[in-house]
Amino acid sequence: MNIFEALRESHERQRTYAKALIATSGDSPERVEAYKQLKAELQAHETAEERHFYIPLMEIDEGVDLSRHAIAEHHEMDEMMEELDETEMSSPAWLATAKKLSDKVHHHLEEEEHKFFQMAGKLLDDKQKSQLAGQYEKEYQAQLSE
């Protein structure tokens, strides 16, 4: 497995959880569970991806800008999750922020898969791609189990 395949697996889970989240209503057990799943997935993915994809890419001049952009988007998603944590789940404001988060997640994943992965594919060799996948998976699992 290479790093792109490893990241895509998590991306599919994020899409599923984000869709499930905005399909919920009120302060329901479904909403609580959907948000918990999405938040855990995003946090584990972001941490592992930054450490084992974006930071290695930043060591290459051509990888700096795309890495900074992606990390900035991770930060925006973190801020939205903080906002959700501080908002009453049954309020209309909560759903509005959840929709913004879902939109940002979808935008970010599209951009990664259609733009960043192509650029990174040219910057990393096959050995690096498979090494990073192993490191990412290990970190991702460790983050999920925290």
Give tens-digit pLDDT for 74-130. Answer: 999 999 999 999 999 999 999 999 999 999 999 999 999 999 999 999 999 999 999
- pLDDT tens digits along 14-43: 999 999 999 999 999 999 999 999 999 999
Confidence at residue 88, expressed as pLDDT on a 0 to 100 scale: 95
Confidence at residue 19, expressed as pLDDT on a 0 to 100 scale: 96
Q: What CATH number labels 3-144?
A: 1.20.120.520
Residue 104 neighbours by CB under 8 Å, 6+ apart: 73, 76, 77, 80
H helical segments located in 2-125: 3-22, 29-49, 55-58, 64-86, 92-111, 117-123
Both structure tokens of 80? 């939205």
Average pLDDT in the 46-73 region? Answer: 97
Both structure tokens of 14? 């994020």
> For residue 10, is pLDDT > 90?
yes
The domain spans of the chain are 3-144
Average pLDDT in the 54-69 region? Answer: 96
Model confidence at 5, pLDDT cuts 50, 70, 90, reads very high
Q: How far apart are CA 27 and CA 25, in angstroms?
A: 7
Confidence at residue 40, expressed as pLDDT on a 0 to 100 scale: 97
Average pLDDT in the 42-70 region? Answer: 97
Q: How far apart are CA 119 and CA 67, in angstroms?
A: 11
> For residue 146, is pLDDT > 90?
no
Average pLDDT in the 127-141 region? Answer: 98
Which pTM was predicted? 0.95
Per-residue three-class SS string for 93-133: HHHHHHHHHHHHHHHHHHHHHHHHHHHHHHHCCHHHHHHHH
